[in-house]
Structure 1
C-alpha cells in the first residue's frame, strides 16, 4: 500500500503593526460613574435600595422625583480618580458594616475596570432600614365571654 505525502506550504507569520499612538485625554461625566455604582449596588445582598426613599424636590412648580440610574449617588470624577457618596437603605437584620464594606469593594473594582479611575473614597450614608413586610399581623385578643 502506497502512502501519499501531503505537501504543505507555510507562510511566514508577519507581526501585526501596532496601532499608532494618538494622544488625548478621556473625560468622564460624574453620571457615568454614578450609574456604574448604582448598578453594582443592585447586586449587593442586604442592600435594599440606593437613595433616600421618597426624595423629591420642586423646580419651577413641577415635582421632580430622584429616580434613575444615578439616584442616591454623588460623584466627583477627575482624569485618574473618583470619589463617591452614597445614600443607602439596608435590609433589616443585615450586618450594616459588612454590606458597606462589600459595597465599597465591588464599586471600586467596577469603576476601575470600566472607567479606569482609582476610587479614593466611598462615603456611605445609611438613611434607612427596610423592615420585613411578610411579618404576621398581631392577632386580635380572644373574647373572654361567650
Structure 2
C-alpha cells in the first residue's frame, strides 16, 4: 500500500509509473536560482538570516529554502522570495533577473508553469557596515501611491 502524499505535491502519472515532485523540491530549486543572481546578498530578512545562522551552526548546513515560499498545484507554481540586496545594484533590475532565473529553473526542471514570482527586498547589505534590523513596525502614513 502506498503512503498518502499532501495534495499540493505535484504528481505526474506516466505510462510506466508515477513521479511526485514535493513542494520542498520546488522551493529548493527557486532558492538556488535566486542565489545565482549577482546582486543578491542573502535570502530572507535580517532576522531570518540570524535565526538561519543559528540553525546552521547546529545542523551543519545552509537552509536553501530560507526566504522562499512556494505554492504548487497540479500544473502551476507560484513563488514568493525575500532577499537582501547588495548596495549599489538597481533593485528593479535585480528583481527581474531573480524572477527570470527562478521561472527558467523551475519550469525546466519540473515541467510546471510558473505563474508568478513575487520578490520582496527586506534590506540592503553595506559591505563592511553594520547590519541593522529593518523597522517593519514603523507607523508612517503613506505619502505615495
SS at match of 1:94: coil
Query: Given the alignment, which residue of 20, 24, 29 partners 2:22?
Result: 29
How big is the alpha-carbon RMSD for the aligned residues of Structure 1 and Structure 2?
2.2
| TM-score, normalising length: structure 2 | 0.67
Gaps of 5+ in 2: 1-13, 57-61, 130-145
Residue 105 (str. 1) matches residue 100 (str. 2): yes
Deviation at 1:54, TM superposition (A): 3.3
Deviation at 1:133, TM superposition (A): 1.3
Deviation at 1:52, TM superposition (A): 1.7
Write the deviation string for residues 56-109 of structure 1: whole angstroms up to 9, x where unpaired. 49xxxxxx7485111110000112100011110000010000000010011101
Matches for 1:1-146 after TM superposition, within 5 Å: 22=15, 26-55=19-48, 56=51, 65=55, 68-133=63-128
Deviation at 1:130, TM superposition (A): 0.2
| Greater fraction helix | 2
| TM-score, normalising length: structure 1 | 0.66
Distance 1:52 1:65 in 2: 15
SS at match of 1:120: strand
Aligned residue pair count: 108
Which structure: larger Rg?
Answer: 1
Distance 1:82 1:24 in 2: 23
Distance 1:79 1:27 in 2: 11
SS at match of 1:124: strand
